Structure 1
């Protein structure tokens, strides 16, 4: 089944959970955004499902740190026998009705975590024919699809499944949900993502404060908005520093060869995975971070569909929010229809006051910080994936500005989200650069 047919309406991912959302305001509570944890859930997660669902937890306990990746040259005969026995237990597991979990959002999230990890462990513990879709046992697929439908997310491991805060929420009080390899490297990788999300809480606060100011146009308001944008640039730079800190305790070889293969999704297999009509769903990816999407939308960074003429457009054009109505401009206008009205008001506000040097400088500083974040992301991807795929583990040649600008290292490898890596990251970095308001704008 083609991947683009998976979300054909009326697919459950287009259906909200029990109610529609009011997008007429930017009140954090309206969007399940917490003032302390941002896009991360503010409640302490359910540590373990009980009752009839404990069989899922037991299977996960018996897999973590015990299963070997398919093709692991160091796997013994005993390892293979253990894997075969564990997989048989998965297939023989009774199909459990997930409906009783619907009453508790936290229990639903835990069920999605457990069932998703079990599915990835089941898939990646043996080799599969590239010509046939990988079949997922109904003991996993039926409850996973049911839980996913209720949560409104895909039935596969997601970025949000890999981390959870503990109470009280803070950068030093978070943990990885499940550590497949049992290594500190895997923990540090996930904790880096969590710390980025938590540092982003201030960014969300500054964006919300800025949007609240866009109904006024006096000099004092412009000064306040400029101050918010300047502070936002500083927060984005902090996020970039956190991103680069992944190198401190996560070895690229461990990442690439030991735990990254476990989280690959259906896009990593030529024929995808086969359960309930789903085939090529991607695994967890940084592209699933709501924080980064929020920064793009707030700053008006436009990412046209791959292959559009935008990629060759003159980069000296002003920010897409202020461009004349071209084909790419039409794309942005369509996206504006999906934004909360406060976001549309902010972009309109910028376009009306683009001649204010202080405001222009502050806006450009925030965009430039976002560009630096994306430069850093390219560096990390090059070190952790591209160099590993090529067998070049010498990082000294990977961090030059020329390598970052060209993105030549990534012609083939794909991310766990299924995209060609550096070409994709380079394109969104370049789109960010095009968002600058230039002097002649």
Structure 2
């Protein structure tokens, strides 16, 4: 087999080749992807100063004076007046012009973190109501402006909770998971810190996947040594995927499902947490018809650029409805929509990766030495997604179906007798059991079970059969 001829045949069908000689794609650095830390910044984001320090100050105060609006524990009730004073202060803050931040991408990222967290604190500390929740212009206007400059959704995202939400324990030492401390934490719980830390560890571990992808995209010709190298990298990728799966499972060692579902998760919810029936949020001072306001879901693991890059490299398509005929169809646009919650440069990287002139799956179809290592990587990713679904069922489905709240440590956090608060016919009522008529939704606002099943099915479909 003439590998060079085969390799060039894929290249010749690309849009690059149609427009002239093939050009080497930009490096990952061009897309703000660090060779050591990947999608995680190579150093902690600097704090805001000058007139923007007021945002930092009110964010620092928030955990001490705010509880979830439906929390009826003694501690929450005792803080009610302080919470309203905090929200009144937010409403009184002037709308700050962000033009001076335009040329400072890391400062813009920090501004997004601060404003997005403030929006969540403000909205979810409000008393339960059937009315549409209003985000004050003092937060809404600058958040939308910052988000436009970054190319990211104007709401809290995976980046705000994971990749941008850390500082170094030992400044000057390398960025490793053991040297990273979580900065912001809605509940103050160790469970929440552990939840963020595990996902940050996955992002850092995924850098090895990005390195393999970068090496492959720079491959200029095929010969026996190159084929051997690609096969070896696919085998190494399989091991990395298995290690990421182990990291996902480690969520269980430090994050209790009750704490996650009843204390942490409500803070993550976006404006569509209840699905189409959710009245949504109003961003005061912002034209309600601007396209950015269509994307106000909460943070989701589906916003991890590492996992998107892995799917695109392995050529896994999520464009089919998953599950058997008895299952609900999945939201086929979910994965593409989740990219809108990523930094614009990271999204551009994924778009370039999607246009690869030589998809590795196509090579593996024709080169026997690549087929088995490719299929092994697919099998490892399918296993990861299956195990991830078990975690999701444990932390979301089972908790949604629970008849009562039984926190691991009632003295810390919610009162053990706390009841869920519902809104019915304009009146706030209490219920010991959540409604079951609506599907169980992830923090991204979608019915998550069909999505996860579809992801498993899409991965399985990518496996190659022997000719």
TM range (shorter): 0.7 to 0.9
Distance 1:83 1:411 in 2: 31
Contact 2:363 2:370 in 1 (8 A): no
The one of 453, 457, 463 equivalent to 1:430 is: 457
Higher-RCO chain (CA-CA 8 Å, sequence separation at least 6): 2
Alignment map for 1:97-112 (pairs within 5 Å): 97-112=97-112
Alignment map for 1:37-52 (pairs within 5 Å): 37-46=37-46, 48-52=47-51
Distance 1:153 1:353, change over 3 A: closer
Q: CA deviation at 1:25?
A: 1.0
TM-score, with normalisation over the residues of structure 2? 0.75
For 2:72, the equivalent position in structure 1 comes to: 73
Distance 1:35 1:352, change over 3 A: closer
Structure 1 unpaired stretches of 5+: 1-22, 314-337, 395-408
Distance 1:411 1:208, change over 3 A: farther
Runs of 4+ deviating beyond 3 Å: 127-130, 164-167, 310-313, 338-343
For 1:173, the equivalent position in structure 2 comes to: 179
Q: CA-to-partner distance for each residue in 1:404-434, whole Å, 9 max, x for gaps?
A: xxxxx99821111111112111111110000
Distance 2:129 2:85 in 1: 21
Contact 2:24 2:218 in 1 (8 A): no
Q: CA-to-partner distance for each residue in 1:62-88, whole Å, 9 max, x for gaps?
A: 211431111112045432111111111
Contact 1:410 1:421 in 2 (8 A): no
Alignment map for 1:53-72 (pairs within 5 Å): 53-72=52-71
Q: CA-to-partner distance for each residue in 1:119-169, whole Å, 9 max, x for gaps?
A: 111100123544x43111111111111111111111110101113453521
Q: Does 1:271 align with 2:286?
A: no
Distance 1:145 1:35 in 2: 30
Distance 2:397 2:437 in 1: 6
For 2:333, the equivalent position in structure 1 comes to: none
Distance 1:65 1:410 in 2: 36
Q: Does 1:282 align with 2:282?
A: no
For 1:206, the equivalent position in structure 2 comes to: 212
Q: CA deviation at 1:379?
A: 1.2
Contact 2:314 2:361 in 1 (8 A): no
Contact 1:133 1:279 in 2 (8 A): no
- After TM superposition, the structure 1 stretch with the greater mean CA deviation from structure 2, 191-200 or 106-115, is 106-115
Distance 1:432 1:177 in 2: 35
Q: CA-to-partner distance for each residue in 1:173-212, whole Å, 9 max, x for gaps?
A: 2222311111111111001110000000111111222233
- After TM superposition, the structure 1 stretch with the greater mean CA deviation from structure 2, 191-200 or 252-261, is 252-261
Contact 1:25 1:341 in 2 (8 A): no
The one of 358, 364, 367 equivalent to 1:346 is: 358
TM-score, with normalisation over the residues of structure 1? 0.79
Root-mean-square deviation over aligned CA pairs? 2.6
Distance 2:364 2:302 in 1: 32
For 2:387, the equivalent position in structure 1 comes to: 376
For 1:300, the equivalent position in structure 2 comes to: 315
Distance 2:101 2:121 in 1: 23
Structure 2 unpaired stretches of 5+: 1-22, 326-349, 407-435
